[in-house]
Amino acid sequence: MLSQESLKLIDVEVAKYPPDQKQSAVMAALRIAQQEKGWLARETIDEVAQYLEMPAIAAFEVASFYNMYDLEPVGKHKITVCTNLPCALSGGVQAAEYLKQKLGIDFNETTPDGNFTLKEGECMGACGDAPVLLHNNHRMCSWMTTEKIDQMLADLAK
Amino acid sequence: MSERNLILAGLDGDRTWRLKDYMARGGYAALKKIIAESTPPADIIAEVKASVLRGRGGAGFPTGLKWSFMPRSFPGAKYLACNSDEGEPGTFKDRDILRYNPHSVIEGMAIAAYAMGCERGYNYIHGEVFEIYERFEEALAEAREAGFIGQKILGSDFSFELFAHHGYGAYICGEETALLESIEGKKGQPRFKPPFPASYGLYGKPTTINNTETFASVPFIMRDGGETFLNYGKPNNGGTKLFSISGHVNRPGNYEIELGTPFSELLEMAGGMRGGRKLKGVIPGGSSSPVVPADIMMDCTMDYDSISKAGSMLGSGAVIVMDETTCMVRALERLSYFYFEESCGQCTPCREGTGWLYRVVHRIEHGQGRPDDLDLLNSVTGNIMGRTICALGDAASMPVQSFIKHFGDEFAYHIEHKTCLVPEDVQREGSKIYVGPSC
């Protein structure tokens, strides 16, 4: 069950759309649900669908279409690295290699302690800041040198 | 910042994005004047037409003309949408506009809504920039509080409600009808056109969608006049434009310049080539635009017409600079993977074709290329282009065609020698983690 706080946040989103268009809030509602639960289990998606009075399958379609929703459990800290061409030219790929080596995992894997998951991302719209990482979908970290990556991982592991 | 800036004028980094700062820069003066004088909507559209503002999202379609497509006397709701779903590799200008000058977009949208009679609008913000979305929400709250958006704006009969909609990771939602589907709470799959959004848009109602930078240009046009805006650029290419420069330059970032500025000057503004190395090729308008070899690019000016003459597109103004350490096959392999990953899967030629393109480029890069692979790639692109609902298929094809056209020798070398023309250690050194001036 989603918390009262999450439902309140969802209500704020619903109010942005015409009264007969509650489904428009599904993307935000799934984001809010994922923030609370860490990932989107089928029953969480079903609950969101029910709350917005839409078919469960339609909510699942959305959850599976947009790539920032996690349909499987991820680590406490999900780190997404952009390796697309503009970033790669300024070290995006090498930053990803460094992270893999530091964490001892490959893309789409989680460290055994459940702390870190590493993902390869597509364009985040921040190519001038390369290398760019995204922490838990919502915090962007720019110009990530190896020293800054070390610092970030140390801070997050605390 | 220089006198060349209109959109980024008078900004001081992160410190001047709030309403009071924007108003101190002359912000909301245009909206206030329009409302005080009850300017006829047709006059606003005429002014925007006179500015020759062309859509800044990539297509370069004349904004005034687009606005005139909206039915004047439609009974019922009409919508306005701002496309801030900036995810075309190389593009990062809208993020800076929303971060440093969000009220310019809000004022531009309010003026547009007044001109087209829209009662409600949404700004669709790219998923990966959540902090920008939060800031825009704050800016909206300020504007609402001050009476610049909402019911009965500044005491007039004009009402316009504006909200932010946050994406969650899908490049395709930058396509305007996919964006509308997404606001409706569905998968972002583009709609068949016609009908166009001006007649059947959000929730089936007439809708106009413009890019963030396009809206951000509107307050200046209404305040200083369309002709003044036009004169900043060159004929048929009005105004200034933000260029996002990434890749092998010393100072990657956004630069606002007059349309028609020589590329060489822009390159200099970005600090020149990293390590003094030689320019190899430039993707001048985002990853979908055809690559242009160095010698042709150095003769170009940065405007729609010049870049088009060079066989490419100005697109969103995303300039990806590649130096001599770049393996063009590897560069194309990464872009092809992106389109394969981001195809929405709706149309067979794109869904199957983008995967096919990626797999063939991948095998060339990895020493398994076959003699007829370049013909195969050209044939696959020919069978994708023009055969899909939206432009993603074309966007995936144009890089493939242009890379082969201009750097075909490098592809042939890979196929024949099963290795890169540019040695691996040279590539790694050229694309190592960049410790730039911003670090």
pLDDT tens per residue across span B96-141: 999 999 999 999 999 999 999 999 999 999 999 999 999 999 999 9
| B135 close contact with A: CB closer than 8 A | no
Distance set, CA B160 to CA B82, B143, B150, B204, B310 (Å)? 14, 11, 5, 19, 42
A25 and A61 in a single domain? The answer is yes
A23 and A85 in a single domain? The answer is no
Cα dihedral B179, B185, B189, B194 sign = negative
Q: Residue A22 belongs to what domain range?
A: 4-65
pLDDT tens for residues B7-19?
998 899 899 999 9
- Cβ contacts (< 8 Å) between A27 and chain B: which residues? 165-168, 182, 185
Helices B348-365, B328-342: inter-axial angle, 10-degree rounding: 150
A82 and A145 in a single domain? The answer is yes
Whole-angstrom Cα distance, residue B218 to residue B107? 8
Residue of A nearest to B130 (CA): A138
Q: Is A71 a domain residue?
A: no
**Is the confidence at residue B261, as pLDDT, over 50?**
yes
Whole-angstrom Cα distance, residue B394 to residue B382? 9
Residue of A nearest to B332 (CA): A85
pLDDT tens for residues B207-219?
999 999 999 999 9
Number of H helices, E strands in chain B: 18, 11
Give residue B3's pLDDT. Answer: 58
Give residue B2's pLDDT. Answer: 46
User: Cis ω on the peptide bond leading into residue B206 (within 30° of 0)?
Assistant: no
A49 and A119 in a single domain? The answer is no
Taking residues B316-338, report their average pLDDT: 97
CATH number of the domain where residue A52 is located: 1.10.10.1590
Give residue B236's pLDDT. Answer: 80
Of A121, A127, A139, the CB nearest to B90: A127
DSSP class of residue B61?
-
Are B334 and A85 within 8 A, CB to CB?
yes
Whole-angstrom Cα distance, residue B406 to residue B402? 6
Structural domains of chain A, count? 2
Q: Is A82 a domain residue?
A: yes
Confidence of residue B72 (pLDDT cuts 50, 70, 90): confident
Confidence of residue B68 (pLDDT cuts 50, 70, 90): very high
Residue of A nearest to B173 (CA): A66
* Interface A:B, Cβ pairs < 8 A: 192
- In whole numbers, what is the pLDDT of chain B averaged over residues? 95
Whole-angstrom Cα distance, residue B274 to residue B250? 5
- Cβ contacts (< 8 Å) between B163 and chain A: which residues? 16-17
Dihedrals phi, psi of B121, to nearest 5 degrees: -140, 160
Taking residues B88-93, report their average pLDDT: 96
Whole-angstrom Cα distance, residue B291 to residue B282? 6
Distance set, CA A109 to CA A31, A131, B311, B392 (Å)? 22, 20, 42, 30
**Is the confidence at residue B437, as pLDDT, over 80?**
no
Residue B243 distance to chain A (closest CA, Å): 11
A110 and A149 in a single domain? The answer is yes
Confidence of residue B22 (pLDDT cuts 50, 70, 90): very high
Whole-angstrom Cα distance, residue A91 to residue A100? 14
Asked whether B270 and B252 are in contact (CB, 8 A), the reply is: yes
Last residue of a domain, one of A39, A65, A91: A65
Angle, CA A93 vertex, CA B361 and CA B168 arms, to 5°: 90
- Say if residue A141 carries a ligand binding annotation: no
| B125 close contact with A: CB closer than 8 A | no
Give me the residues paired with residue B359 across strands: none
Asked whether B226 and B217 are in contact (CB, 8 A), the reply is: no
A89 and A150 in a single domain? The answer is yes
Taking residues B71-89, report their average pLDDT: 94
Whole-angstrom Cα distance, residue B107 to residue B160? 11
Are A23 and B168 within 8 A, CB to CB?
no
Are A85 and B245 within 8 A, CB to CB?
no
Find the DSSP H helices in B233-372. 263-269, 294-297, 304-309, 328-342, 348-365
Of A31, A52, A89, the CB nearest to B431: A89
Cα dihedral B294, B374, B58, A13 sign = negative
| B315 close contact with A: CB closer than 8 A | no
Q: Is A143 a domain residue?
A: yes
Find the DSSP H helices in B147-211. 176-183
pLDDT tens for residues B347-378?
999 999 999 999 999 999 999 999 999 999 99
A61 and A114 in a single domain? The answer is no
Asked whether B230 and B239 are in contact (CB, 8 A), the reply is: yes
Residue of A nearest to B174 (CA): A125
ipTM of the complex as predicted = 0.97
Give residue B238's pLDDT. Answer: 79
pTM, full prediction: 0.96
Give me the residues paired with residue B209 across strands: B81
- Cβ contacts (< 8 Å) between A83 and chain B: which residues? 334
Per DSSP, the residues of A72-87 read S---SEEEEEE-SHHH
pLDDT tens for residues A40-98?
999 999 999 999 999 999 999 999 999 999 999 999 999 999 999 999 999 999 999 99
Q: Is A70 a domain residue?
A: no
Give residue A151's pLDDT. Answer: 97
Q: Is A108 a domain residue?
A: yes
Dihedrals phi, psi of B82, to nearest 5 degrees: -110, 130
Give the number of C-alpha atoms closer than 13 A to the C-alpha of residue B213, restricted to the C-beta side: 32
**Is the confidence at residue B438, as pLDDT, over 70?**
no
Mutation for testing the B interface, residue in A85, A136, A142, A151 having most B CBs under 10 Å: A85
pLDDT tens for residues A108-155?
999 999 999 999 999 999 999 999 999 999 999 999 999 999 999 999
**Is the confidence at residue B73, as pLDDT, over 90?**
no
A86 and A128 in a single domain? The answer is yes
Confidence of residue B1 (pLDDT cuts 50, 70, 90): very low
Q: Is A43 a domain residue?
A: yes
Give residue B4's pLDDT. Answer: 72
Secondary structure of residue B136 in the 3-state scheme: helix
pLDDT-above-90 percentage for chain B = 92
Last residue of a domain, one of A65, A88, A103: A65
A32 and A88 in a single domain? The answer is no
Whole-angstrom Cα distance, residue A1 to residue A3? 6
CATH number of the domain where residue A142 is located: 3.40.30.10
Taking residues B160-188, report their average pLDDT: 97
Whole-angstrom Cα distance, residue B184 to residue B224? 37
Are A128 and B182 within 8 A, CB to CB?
no
Give residue A58's pLDDT. Answer: 98
Last residue of a domain, one of A17, A39, A65: A65
Q: Is A58 a domain residue?
A: yes
Confidence of residue B234 (pLDDT cuts 50, 70, 90): confident
A36 and A92 in a single domain? The answer is no
Mutation for testing the B interface, residue in A53, A81, A83, A123 having most B CBs under 10 Å: A123
- Cβ contacts (< 8 Å) between A124 and chain B: which residues? 87, 126, 128-129
Distance set, CA A80 to CA B67, B252, B353 (Å)? 39, 21, 27
Q: Is A152 a domain residue?
A: yes
| B183 close contact with A: CB closer than 8 A | yes
Least confident piece of the model among A50-54, B55-59, B323-327 = B55-59
Secondary structure of residue A121 in the 3-state scheme: strand
Amino acid at B225: G
A141 and A98 in a single domain? The answer is yes
A40 and A87 in a single domain? The answer is no
